[in-house]
């Protein structure tokens, strides 16, 4: 087991739990106030009983006063909502005046392994990029439509994304994303956190 303990004066962390019932693709909770400069982190556990991925990965997102979790990326296949996620641990982190945060939506369709999004310029020497979904592949998870096979590379390659900052010198204006498998359509909510010196 690995643990991360990060202390930064001035930030506010609100913790809680929720669940996603079998048959449900989205779970939204009213959780005021909206953060000044926030990220939403989520962790969950589900026993793997067979091949599959779309039913057991989440994409957390901040929407005004609400925290939202979705899975299956809009798939109409019942398998993508078949499992119950009985406990989802969440942390809403508000960096307040210690950082500037951009919440960025990234999507990749079937057959697409790379994409990018335009950012308000950030200083790459003091900027962190990650998704809010935390799992066995780190802070890189999202949601997808791929049902999965017995090939575990497909499973994690579909919904796990590698993020990087593009641009010139110290300034970055692009968030670049890559995944290692593109058998289905996937989506991520990325957070770009530029620390204020």
Q: 107 in a domain, yes or no?
A: yes
User: For the purposes of burial, counting CB atoms within 10 Å of the CB of 5, is it exposed (0-12), middle (13-18) or buried (19 or more)?
Assistant: exposed
Q: 1 in a domain, yes or no?
A: no
Q: Give yes or no for residue 63 having a pLDDT over 80.
A: yes
Mean pLDDT calculated for residue range 92-108? 97
User: For the purposes of burial, counting CB atoms within 10 Å of the CB of 11, is it exposed (0-12), middle (13-18) or buried (19 or more)?
Assistant: middle
For residue 63 the two structure tokens come to 């929407």
Q: 138 in a domain, yes or no?
A: yes
Q: 6 in a domain, yes or no?
A: no
Q: 3 in a domain, yes or no?
A: no
pTM of the model: 0.91
Task: Give residue 34's pLDDT.
Answer: 93
Task: Give residue 151's pLDDT.
Answer: 57
Task: Give residue 173's pLDDT.
Answer: 95
- 187 CB-near residues (< 8 Å, 6+ apart): 59, 73, 105, 106, 107, 108, 142, 143, 144
Phi and psi angles of residue 111, each rounded to the nearest 5 degrees, phi first: 85, -5
Q: 119 in a domain, yes or no?
A: yes
Number of domain units in the chain: 1
The single residue listed with the structure tokens 């620390």 is 195
8-56 per-position pLDDT tens digit: 788 999 999 999 999 999 999 999 999 999 999 999 887 666 667 788 8
164-193 per-position pLDDT tens digit: 999 878 999 999 999 999 999 999 999 999
Q: 2 in a domain, yes or no?
A: no
73: region left, alpha or beta (phi > 0 left; psi from -120 to 50 alpha): left
Q: 27 in a domain, yes or no?
A: yes
Domain that holds residue 160: 12-195
| Strand 138-141 versus strand 143-144 pairing type | unpaired
For 4, which DSSP code? -
The residue ranges of DSSP E strands in the chain, in sequence order, are: 12-20, 26-30, 38-44, 59-63, 66-70, 85-94, 99-108, 114-123, 127-131, 133-135, 138-141, 143-144, 162-168, 171-178, 186-195
Instruction: Give the lowest-confidence range in 88-92, 130-134, 144-148.
Output: 144-148
């Amino acid at each position: 087991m690995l643990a991360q303990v990060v202390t930064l004066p001035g930030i506010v962390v609100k913790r809680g739990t929720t669940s996603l019932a079998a048959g449900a693709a989205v779970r939204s909770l009213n959780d005021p106030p909206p953060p000044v400069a926030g990220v939403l982190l989520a962790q969950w556990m589900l026993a793997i009983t067979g091949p599959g991925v779309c039913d057991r990965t989440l994409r957390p997102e901040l929407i005004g006063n609400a925290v939202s979790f979705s899975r299956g990326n809009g798939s109409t296949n019942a398998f993508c909502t078949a499992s119950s996620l009985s406990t989802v641990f969440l942390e809403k982190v508000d960096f307040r005046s210690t950082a500037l945060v951009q919440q960025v939506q990234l999507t990749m369709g079937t057959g697409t392994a790379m994409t990018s999004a335009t950012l308000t310029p950030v200083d790459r020497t003091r900027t962190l990029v990650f998704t809010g979904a935390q799992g066995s592949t780190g802070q890189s998870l999202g949601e997808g439509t791929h049902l999965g096979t017995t090939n575990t590379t497909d499973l994690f390659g579909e919904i796990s994304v590698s993020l990087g900052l593009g641009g010139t010198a110290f300034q970055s204006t692009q968030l670049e994303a890559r995944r290692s498998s593109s058998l289905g359509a996937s989506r991520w909510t990325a957070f770009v956190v530029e620390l204020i010196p």
